[in-house]
Structure 1
Amino acid sequence: MKKITFRERKNIIGESLQKIRQSKNISQSQLSAKMQVLGVNIDQQMISKIEKNMRQVTDYEFACFCKCLEVKADDLLKDFYDMISSDNN
């Protein structure tokens, strides 16, 4: 099976997810519980792996992270946009 990465990362939202979650004083366990209410089977360890770029993120997980954290998709993608913008300069 082919490993899919972008610049050695398994996802592009891990760092932003952690920053936003911490800025809202939400623990990984609390975020996991909110995700499970939405029907996403994700535990604290999985969120930790996402934040450390050790796990991929599905589209529905991404959408539910936005809902749980009450942010827009662009907020979670900001670091990625900044990274690719700096490449073009």
Structure 2
Amino acid sequence: MDLDKANISGPKIRKERLRRQWDQVELAAALTDYGITLERSDISEIELQKRGVKDYELDAFAKVFDIDPIFLLRGEETND
């Protein structure tokens, strides 16, 4: 694990977003259904692993993507 990264889930969040053909603004809008307000720049920083992800944000990402939140933490690594 690269300790200079702010999170380990960013690449998986990006992969899931792209799989759905959403841009970052669309993902931010979907998160509001779960009480999470993030700007496009926040999502960019999360995906680039420059910003940490709070536990309730991770849960909301998982709900938006309809996946197990554990996948975002421990799922197979992506090199995208």
TM-score, with length taken from structure 2 = 0.85
**Max Rg structure:** 1
Q: Whose relative contact order is higher, 1 or 2, with alpha carbons under 8 Å and at least 6 apart? A: 2
The size of the alignment, in residue pairs, is 76
* Paired position in structure 2 for 1:7: 3
Output aligned runs, 1:1-89, within 5 Å.
Answer: 7-77=3-73, 78-79=75-76
Aligned-pair identity in percent equals 29
Cα RMSD after superposing both structures: 1.7
Which contiguous aligned blocks of 4+ residues in structure 1 show a shift greater than 2 angstroms? Answer: none
Q: In the TM superposition, what is the alpha-carbon distance from 1:37 to its structure 2 partner? A: 2.2
TM-score, with length taken from structure 1 = 0.77
Q: Which blocks of at least 5 consecutive residues in structure 2 are unaligned?
A: none
